[in-house]
């Protein structure tokens, strides 16, 4: 069932690693209407959509008492796992906060960079096929580590485990709403939901389209498409590789799961193991039938070249030597014991990652996404005299003579 293709078959390789992304015009039109309605109508429009699409039948805001009551119904082992995951995420996030600095460029010329936390951020937590408390931890905890003043979350149907995660992450406020209307409320504010500086977190195609639409007015992390995993290996174990492919495929029928290997023997073994592990129906089977496969290359070096070209969300490598060859990936897992699924929950690294080739330009969500980096300049009279000629000459070369004059008037 898992197709095996030769690396020389460029069309087949292209289909597996760089599929054409077709914009869904109907979804975009519907999302544009919803966003415009909420931006214009505030709570009235928001509640209308929430009742119709989210089946909201109570208060939109979730209070701390409700969170604690729900958390009390979560099994003790799950609560302990949430605490352990939160501790590890917090540990990593603290290391990710950028540091301010100050440098003397020349005598009398000083440049400083200040790190200022965002004032308020919005975390989108999906409430669809599976409850995702881990996504709340992965978005809210880095924001808290960066020093964000207010952290707001939205989730259309939060399960008790999600509410337990909200307590663990220390959310400021949480609202029982989702979809494009929730994104619009966060981006523009309503009477109930405050406007935020940035929206982060995964969601379905409506959420992704809404985030892309509001990005000119409100910061977002990145456009998130279907999840992806690429594995580069030459040895196996085949059963472990198959388990990783199936695990990632169960997220979504559009998930992409690919092994790249120079070993035809390993390719065949992994294909058999995948078939043995797949349920008869469900998103994993749909994903692997439509978007899964094995690419057989002449060498490991060529396998890594293809992996870098794909810039996958998750890249799994079977040995340390390959790690030094990585150029583009959202998150990398090295060695047979570094299970990618462990990164989804417990390692402390973030699982909110770029997809669809976006890893060519950025990595995953981090505490650095929740700060402003502000540059401060200080010049003395002598300092301006030292660099003023350079500034005036370049301004003149660009034809911006008023720029040159604003420096020259001080020097003269």
Catalytic residues: 313-314
Residue 376 pairs with which residues in a beta bridge? Answer: 112
């Amino acid at each position: 069932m898992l197709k095996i293709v030769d690396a020389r078959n460029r069309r087949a390789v292209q289909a597996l690693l760089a599929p054409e992304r077709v914009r869904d015009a109907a979804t975009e039109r519907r999302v544009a209407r919803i966003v415009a309605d909420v931006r214009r109508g505030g709570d009235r429009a928001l509640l209308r959509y929430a009742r119709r699409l989210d089946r909201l039948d109570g208060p939109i805001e979730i209070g701390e008492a409700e969170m604690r009551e729900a958390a009390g119904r979560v099994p003790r082992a799950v609560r302990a796992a949430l605490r352990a995951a939160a501790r590890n995420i917090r540990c990593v996030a603290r290391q990710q906060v950028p540091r301010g600095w100050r440098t003397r460029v020349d005598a009398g010329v000083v440049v400083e960079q200040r790190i200022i936390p965002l004032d308020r951020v919005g975390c989108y937590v999906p409430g669809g096929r599976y409850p995702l408390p881990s996504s709340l931890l992965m978005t809210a905890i880095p924001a808290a580590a960066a020093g964000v003043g207010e952290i707001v979350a939205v989730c259309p149907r939060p399960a008790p485990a999600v509410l337990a995660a909200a307590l663990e992450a220390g959310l400021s406020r949480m609202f029982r709403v989702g979809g494009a209307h929730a994104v619009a409320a966060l981006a523009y504010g309503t009477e109930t939901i405050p406007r935020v500086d940035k929206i982060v977190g995964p969601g379905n195609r409506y959420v992704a389209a809404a985030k892309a639409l509001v990005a000119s007015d409100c910061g977002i992390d990145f456009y998130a498409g279907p999840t992806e995993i690429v594995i580069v290996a030459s040895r196996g174990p085949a059963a472990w590789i198959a388990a990783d492919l199936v695990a990632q495929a169960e997220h979504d029928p559009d998930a992409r799961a690919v092994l790249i290997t120079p070993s035809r023997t390993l390719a065949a073994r992994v294909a058999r193991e995948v078939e043995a592990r797949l349920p008869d129906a469900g998103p994993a089977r749909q994903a692997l039938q439509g978007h899964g496969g094995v690419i057989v290359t002449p060498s490991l070096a060529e396998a890594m070249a293809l992996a870098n070209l794909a810039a996958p969300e998750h890249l799994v490598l079977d040995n340390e030597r390959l790690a030094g060859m990585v150029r583009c990936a959202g998150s990398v897992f090295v060695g047979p014991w570094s299970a990618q699924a462990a990164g989804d929950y417990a390692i402390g690294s973030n699982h909110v990652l770029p997809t669809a080739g976006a890893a060519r330009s950025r990595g995953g969500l981090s505490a650095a996404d929740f700060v402003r980096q502000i540059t401060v300049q200080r010049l003395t009279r002598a300092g301006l005299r030292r660099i003023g000629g350079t500034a005036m000459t370049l301004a003149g070369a660009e034809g911006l003579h008023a720029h040159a004059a604003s420096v020259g008037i001080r020097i003269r």
